[in-house]
Amino acid sequence: MSKQRINIVWLKRDLRTQDHLPFFYAELAAVDYIPIFVFEPSMMNRMDCSKRHLQFIYHSILEMNVTLQEMKREVIIFHAEATEVFSYLTKNYDIDTVYSYQESGVRATWERDKEVTKLLNENGSKWQQFQRDGIVRGIKNRDAWDKQWYAHAYEPIIENNFSPQRFDFSNPFPLHEELKSEFSKYPDVFQKPGELLAWKYLTSFCEERGKDYSFKISKPLESRRSCSRISPYLAWGNISIKQAYQFVKHHPNFVNHKRSFNGFLTRLKWHCHFIQKFEVECDYETRSVNRGYESMPYINDPEMIEAWKNGTTGLPLVDACMRCLKQTGWINFRMRAMLVSVLTHHFDCDWKAGVTHLAQLFLDYEPGIHYTQFQMQAGTTGINTIRIYNPIKQSKDHDPDGIFIKKWVDELRNVPSAFIHEPWIMTEIDKSFIDLKTDYPPPIIDITQSGKTAREKLWGFRKNKEVKTDGMRIVQTHTRNNRSKRTI
């Protein structure tokens, strides 16, 4: 019996039903298709993956299926390695074309894609991969990138329509019940996944929340409301960059909040700028952006790393940020940068000691942004200004009354604002006036001293010959050639 001829839409970080090129082309084709998502055990077991990511993905798909159900379609969820899935599909079906977006992921996904390509080629099947969010594959420098990116941002939004599926498909690799039930329990404290919620966040940002975006962006408490909070939706593709860009650019409130909205639009470009770096050099996952920093010595004290991870450093803002992140999956940019700075500069630990910890906690984990941003803050690019954040100063500047700190570090609930940034300076008499819990640790280091040591070490290492040479290569590859106009 001849095999059923089919096409496939392979969903990755594009979990939406609109502005979707693979769906668009699959619907145009004469051959019918199935949309699939593959939960790959090897990816699920990686150190940068966590249950919250898998739950976000799972619920995004469930929501897509509610929409698609009306059109008698369904995203089929596989639980197996992608190579196993495609071996099965090529054996049992005559696959004409696989449609997907290009994945600018870690090396493991790149290698997996090479194996899938081989499998498909051997079976005479095509794989059409589309550019995602204006990120370009195979470029050698950034000379034309900005112009191309803006051209992409203004391209018309794709309106997707769906026809009913014309053949039955039985899933040989379903998610087993245990995993299904684990994925189903989505914690209330996290942002809810899916296209609908993505639009809800973006709309409320434009209508109300975003008016003070620029002023509150660095405040750990206020930014929770004034920032767009669309990062998890962009990271998992519940909304495309183009959709977000055009919606904000054309929103009636744009003229009223130009500074804030332009700041937001610039960041959408940064989003792609960082992923573009990773697309070109995904080894940033495992090695320093600037190879010269691979030989930088660190103390890497395991106790300090654990205290940082657990939010028990004795530095109130650092602990509040880490505990908040654990609970909610989000903190603002400035606090992310501060956490990295404390680990890598003040605690003198290798960026590799903390990078997957934060990846697991961020609901919006996007490898292209995460590894490059983490290293930028750790000072291992060799081309960016080195910023050593003092967590006490950050605390005084951005949480002056300690409201954010007290919300997340219960031990400090009764500490007066005057001492909340440095509770260790309280005298016994000060303490006797308040009902102070005693189980909050003293600071694990002297921040003034550690900042000074880090500054000397980092600026000293910048003079290293290998750092300088690789810095030149990085500028050539990842920035516009005109140095005066250099992007970050």
Ligand X SMILES: Cc1cc2nc3c(=O)[nH]c(=O)nc-3n(C[C@H](O)[C@H](O)[C@H](O)COP(=O)(O)OP(=O)(O)OC[C@H]3O[C@@H](n4cnc5c(N)ncnc54)[C@H](O)[C@@H]3O)c2cc1C
- Report the C-alpha gap between 405 and 400 in whole angstroms: 10
The reply on whether position 478 binds ligand X by CB under 6 A is no
List 234, 248, 317, 445, residue binding ligand X (CB under 6 A): 234
List 34, 206, 230, 343, residue binding ligand X (CB under 6 A): 230
- Report the C-alpha gap between 150 and 148 in whole angstroms: 6
The reply on whether position 271 binds ligand X by CB under 6 A is yes
List the one residue out of 190, 152, 159, 162 whose CA is nearest residue 60: 190
The reply on whether position 267 binds ligand X by CB under 6 A is yes
The reply on whether position 198 binds ligand X by CB under 6 A is no
Sequence-distant (≥ 6) Cβ neighbours of residue 176 within 8 angstroms: 79
Q: Residue 35 or residue 329: which is nearer to ligand X going by CB?
A: 329
The reply on whether position 278 binds ligand X by CB under 6 A is no
CB of 201 to ligand X, least distance (A): 8
Q: End-to-end distance of the chain based on CA atoms, in angstroms?
A: 58
Instruction: Check: CB of residue 101 under 8 Å from CB of residue 12.
Output: yes
CB of 478 to ligand X, least distance (A): 14
- Ranges assigned E (strand) in 400-465: none
Q: Which stretch binds ligand X (CB under 6 A): 25-33, 107-115, 287-295, 335-343?
A: 335-343
The reply on whether position 332 binds ligand X by CB under 6 A is yes
Query: Which residues from 366-385 bind ligand X, rule CB under 6 A?
Result: 366, 369-370, 373-374, 377
Q: Which stretch binds ligand X (CB under 6 A): 45-53, 131-139, 363-371, 435-443?
A: 363-371
Sequence-distant (≥ 6) Cβ neighbours of residue 179 within 8 angstroms: 39, 79
Q: Residue 232 or residue 423: which is nearer to ligand X going by CB?
A: 232
CB of 272 to ligand X, least distance (A): 8
The reply on whether position 231 binds ligand X by CB under 6 A is yes
The reply on whether position 247 binds ligand X by CB under 6 A is no
CB of 227 to ligand X, least distance (A): 3
Instruction: Check: CB of residue 391 under 8 Å from CB of residue 338.
Output: yes
Alpha helices per DSSP H over 165-315? 177-184, 195-207, 213-216, 223-226, 231-235, 241-249, 258-280, 302-310
Q: Residue 290 or residue 377: which is nearer to ligand X going by CB?
A: 377
CB of 403 to ligand X, least distance (A): 19
**Total site size for ligand X, rule CB under 6 A:** 27
Alpha helices per DSSP H over 288-421? 302-310, 316-328, 333-341, 355-361, 367-378, 391-398, 403-408, 417-420
Query: Tokens 């995993």 belong to which residue?
Result: 179
What is the rounded radius of gyration, in angstroms, for the C-alpha atoms of the chain? 24
Beta strands 93-101 and 4-11, pairing class: parallel
CB of 363 to ligand X, least distance (A): 9
Query: Which residues from 210-229 bind ligand X, rule CB under 6 A?
Result: 227-229
Q: Which stretch binds ligand X (CB under 6 A): 160-168, 357-365, 466-474, 476-484?
A: 357-365
Q: What is the DSSP letter of 211?
A: G
Residues contributing to the site for ligand X (CB under 6 A): 227-231, 234-235, 264, 267-268, 270-271, 274, 332-333, 336-337, 340, 362, 364-366, 369-370, 373-374, 377
